[in-house]
Amino acid sequence: MWAGQSLSEVGTEVTRLALPTAAIVLLHAGPFEVGLLTALEFLAFPVLGLVAGVYADRLKRRQILIVCDTGRMLVLASVPAAYFAGVLTMGQLYAVALVIGICTVFFDVAYQSYLPALIPRTDLLEGNSKLEITRSASQVAGPALGGLLIQLIKAAPAILVDALSYLVSVATLLWIRHQEPQARPSGDVPPSFFGEMWEGIKVVLGHPVIRLIAGCTATSNLGSNMGQAVFLLFAYNQLRMTPGQVGLIFGIGSVGALVGAVVAVGVARRIGLGPAIALSSGVGNAFLFLVPLAGLGYPFLLLSAAFFVLLFTGSIYNINQISLRQTIVPVRLQGRLNATVRTIVWGTIPVGAFLGGVLGTRFGIVPTLYLSAALATLAVLFILAGPVRLKEQPEPAD
């Protein structure tokens, strides 16, 4: 799982740049179309997230991972195929984004729920740190590779790299021989589908720490994705950057993510778990203000600094808050826990992307970027309301 996911992240970073670039450069999409493309990719989380959680606790999680990666491989391969046939349209890109989102919501819920079944609960912080380190290392190469491929062979053919990376991921998942424990033991679990779904919702909304962390992440995602919806238009059309330069900036940001993953455990041990989560959220999002300021001068320097610090602190935040969630909730509820949290925190992404497209069209790209930074920075208030007082990782729940 560790190896396959790390390799597929390289391909994911290529598509992250190539899919909207194909819309902008090949199909001449504007702010609204690019925002809608991003929104469709994340629409499945508020719509299907809770459903995915129930199935992640009912079915073998490895099987869900294999099916989802196979689906993503096939749908991504359709983009270069349509391009070479001369029939690529925005409608197809919208459909590809939607299907990728559906596969991703089931994959991500099962993926986070699968880790506690593979390693002891006391090792989750170290396990998540290792996964984040290699994921970040893969992302260092991914954006630069994506920018280079887009310039050499154009955006649509570059997406084939991502399709091949999912093929590798499927192969590594098939290689796992670990016997996954029974997903749902007999006992007091509600027998009905909606009963199980409601149990997961109650775990999240009823736990003050998880509830506030979810609120922080959701607000941060809402704000940052308003800006992300118009960022490439800002970089290509106003800053006159090339895909290679943008890919290099994303790569520099991923170096920050790698460094953050390496130091995340040490930071939490030195200053405390709660303060580490609070500091990483507040400082990282504040650096988003450098993005619109790049229009005044030194764009490469300012954008590189913004993405480096944002992803550096993002790794520290994610490793510590995910490990905290996985520790304080029993294994049998992990699927529904992760699904409910993902529904909340990723459910704001399509909203933010759609708002970014609308606001960018109505008021302009630069004002939208400032509003994006302000809203994301306010997210830390949720952590200051309670979780900041946590000093150490709690004992694992039964």
Q: What is the CATH number of the domain that holds 277?
A: 1.20.1250.20
CA distance 5 to 343: 22
CA distance 261 to 319: 7
Helix (H) or strand (E) run with residue 35 in it: helix 31-42
CA distance 213 to 90: 36
pLDDT number for residue 186 = 47
Digit-coded pLDDT (tens) for 170-229: 999 999 887 776 655 545 544 577 777 787 788 888 888 888 999 999 999 999 999 998
pLDDT number for residue 392 = 62
CA distance 398 to 393: 15
Residue ranges in the chain whose pLDDT is less than 50: 186, 189-190, 396-397
Contacts of 170 (CB under 8 A, 6+ apart): 4, 66, 69, 70, 73
DSSP codes, 114-172: HHHHHS-GGGHHHHHHHHHHHHHHHHHHHHHHHHHHHHHH-HHHHTHHHHHHHHHHHHH
Contacts of 118 (CB under 8 A, 6+ apart): 1, 127, 178
Contacts of 256 (CB under 8 A, 6+ apart): 307, 308, 309, 310, 311, 312, 315
Closest to 169 measured CA to CA, from 254, 41, 65? 65
pLDDT number for residue 254 = 81
Q: Domain span at residue 51?
A: 2-174+195-389
396 within domain boundaries: no
181 within domain boundaries: no
395 within domain boundaries: no
Half-sphere exposure of 49 (CA within 13 A, CB side): 19
pLDDT number for residue 181 = 63
Q: How many domains does the chain have?
A: 1
CB 152 within 8 Å of CB 5:
no
182 within domain boundaries: no
241 within domain boundaries: yes
323 within domain boundaries: yes
CB 245 within 8 Å of CB 364:
no
186 within domain boundaries: no
CB 209 within 8 Å of CB 328:
yes
